[in-house]
Structure formats: C-alpha cells, structure tokens
C-alpha cells in the first residue's frame, strides 16, 4: 500500500520539525547541501580516488547494514537512518526513495545504460570464514584423549660378566702397551673379584696378573737404568742401589720394588722431562 504523503515530506518534517532560517527549505535542498557531500567524502575515503568505475558508482545500499555503518559516521546520514527506523519505512520504500549520487540506484542505472556489470572488489582480500571454535574443540578433544605411558626399564649387569670384561680389557692393554704402567683396575685385589669363577679361571687370572706385574717391573727397571745412564737425577737410595749393582756386574730384579708405588708412579710420569743429572751437577 502506497503512502498518501510523499516520503520526502515525511522525512523533512521529521528531520526539521521547526526549521530555522539556516535550515534547508526542502528535502531536495537538504540532499544537495548535506547528504551528497557526505557520500562523496565516504567514497573518497573508502576508495582513495575516483579513477575506477566502482569508485564513481559505489552502489551504496541504504538497507545494507555494512553500508549503513559506513555512512552512519556522518551526522546527517545518522539522523536519516534514525528517521527511517522511526517512521517504519520498508526496504522497498527506502530503495525506491534513495535515488541520488552514489546509491545502488545510480549503479543499476549505469549498468543498464552501458550494458556492463560493475565488479564489486570490496572484501576480495578477505578469505573465507573459518570457525576456529570447531578446530579448537577437536584439538582439545585430541589432547585429552592422549594417555601418556612411561616405560621404566631396569638393566641388571651380571657381576661375572663385568669381571670377565675387565680381564679382557686388561689383557688387551697389556699386549698393546707393554711399556705403560698397569692400571688400578687390572691390578685389583683378587679377593674383590666375583667368587663364582671356576678354579681353572682363577688360576689363569692369577697367572695373567703375575705376568703383567712382571712386565711392569721390568719396564720400570729398564726406565730407571736408562735414566741413570743418561745422568738424570734420581733419589739417593736408587743411585746407591745402581752404583752397587754396577760394581757387582749383576742386575738385581728387586730394583722395581725399592721405591714405594707412589714414588715409582711419579718417576714414571716424569721420566720424559728434562734431565738435570749427576753429570750436570
């Protein structure tokens, strides 16, 4: 049903119930003085320039909420939208009434006259909406469904196997480095070994340890005599022992046991140093 009073008159009397001399006399004057300039400012701000067809015919829809939000920033358009809602104008009435520059009516008229379709590029760079709430719900459900299990493994080493491994290592070190001092692990007390070995293994172990000790003593004695002949300074008791040995002309095998183990180890470690021998003294 068409209204008896034109919409322009209803809007003007609603916007200017008591017009002053400075107010526009009609709605057309109000449109030319206030509404169209606001449309131009909005288009210039939104597009940046008017070089494109879309900017010259933006197609602002006064029933579309996003377009209303853009134009509602301006005072006169905000009052116009409030008047639309107060008067209860339908969407059809608003579309039929809003026929001025920059509106949907202007774009449709241009498309009809030119036979082309103005492409709307607004929102082209905005991707499709993805409801992240569903993704988060799935991830949360997956995290809660995971049950972590910690497996604890206890490795028990066989004492017999460990002792046998030490013996094998001592044999390899003794064969490859006869001149090196015997390690503490190799010369360990037989009482500390595991008592589960057979008599044959115990006899073989003792014989091997005896051979290693003999090699060690021979190596130490050889180094001490070489140092004595080179004129290196030695402890007084060692020098006296070697002097008597040279007078007798017979080598005494107890040379390696003359000094304590600590002193002998220190001498072996320092045997590569510079000689400050008796001859130099």
Burial class (CB in 10 A: 0-12, 13-18, 19+), 140: exposed
CA–CA separation, 186 and 216 (whole Å)? 12
* Interval 34-64: pLDDT, tens: 999 999 999 999 888 888 888 899 999 999 9
Tokens standing for 190?
A: 């037989």
CB 170 within 8 A of CB 186: yes
With a cut of 90, say whether residue 74 has pLDDT above it. yes
Reported as a single tens digit per residue, the pLDDT across 109-153 is: 999 999 989 888 877 777 787 788 878 888 887 777 766 666 666
Can you give the pTM of this predicted structure?
0.45
| For the chain, percent of residues with pLDDT exceeding 90 | 29
- Closest-CA residue to 258 (of 232, 240, 233): 240
pLDDT score, position 63? 92
Residue 254 pLDDT grade (very low, low, confident, very high; cuts 50, 70, 90): low
DSSP assignment of 206-249, as one string?
A: HHHHHHHHHHHHHHHHHHHHHHHHTT----HHHHHHHHHHHHHT
Least confident window among 10-14, 26-30, 207-211, 216-220: 216-220
Q: Provide the 8-state DSSP code for 103.
A: B
Using 50, 70 and 90 to split pLDDT, how confident is the model at 188? very low
Lowest mean pLDDT among 21-30, 123-132, 163-172, 174-183: 174-183
- Sign of the CA dihedral with 275 first, then 268, 258, and 208 last: negative
Name every residue whose Cβ is closer than 8 Å to that of residue 215 and which is 6 or more positions away in sequence: 174, 178
CA distances from 103 to 31, 59, 76, 81 (A): 13, 5, 16, 14
Higher pLDDT pick, 74 / 133: 74
> Does the structure show a pLDDT above 80 at 238?
no
């Amino acid at each position: 049903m068409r209204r008896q009073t034109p919409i322009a008159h209803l809007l003007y009397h609603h916007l200017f119930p008591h017009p002053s001399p400075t107010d526009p006399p009609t709605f057309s004057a109000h449109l030319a003085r206030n509404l169209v300039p606001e449309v131009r400012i909005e288009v210039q701000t939104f597009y940046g320039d008017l070089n494109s067809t879309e900017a010259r015919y933006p197609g602002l829809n006064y029933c579309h909420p996003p377009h209303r939000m853009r134009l509602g920033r301006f005072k006169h358009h905000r009052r116009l939208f409030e008047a639309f809602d107060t008067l209860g104008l339908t969407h059809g009435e608003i579309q039929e009434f809003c026929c001025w520059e920059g509106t949907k009516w202007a774009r449709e008229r241009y498309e009809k006259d030119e036979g082309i379709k103005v492409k709307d590029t607004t929102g082209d760079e905005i991707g499709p909406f993805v409801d992240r709430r569903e993704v988060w719900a799935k991830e949360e459900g997956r995290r809660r469904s995971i049950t972590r299990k910690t497996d604890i493994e206890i490795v028990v080493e066989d004492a017999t196997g460990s002792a046998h491994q030490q013996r094998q290592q001592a044999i390899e070190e003794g064969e490859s480095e006869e001149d090196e001092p015997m390690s503490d692990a190799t010369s360990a007390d037989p009482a500390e070994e595991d008592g589960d070995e057979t008599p044959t293994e115990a006899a073989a172990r003792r014989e091997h340890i005896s051979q290693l000790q003999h090699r060690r003593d021979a190596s130490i004695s050889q180094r001490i005599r070489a140092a004595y002949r080179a004129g290196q300074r030695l402890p007084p008791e060692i020098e006296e022992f070697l002097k008597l040995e040279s007078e007798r002309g017979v080598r005494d095998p107890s040379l390696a046991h003359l000094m304590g183990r600590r002193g002998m180890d220190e001498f072996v470690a320092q045997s590569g140093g510079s000689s400050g021998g008796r001859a130099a003294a």
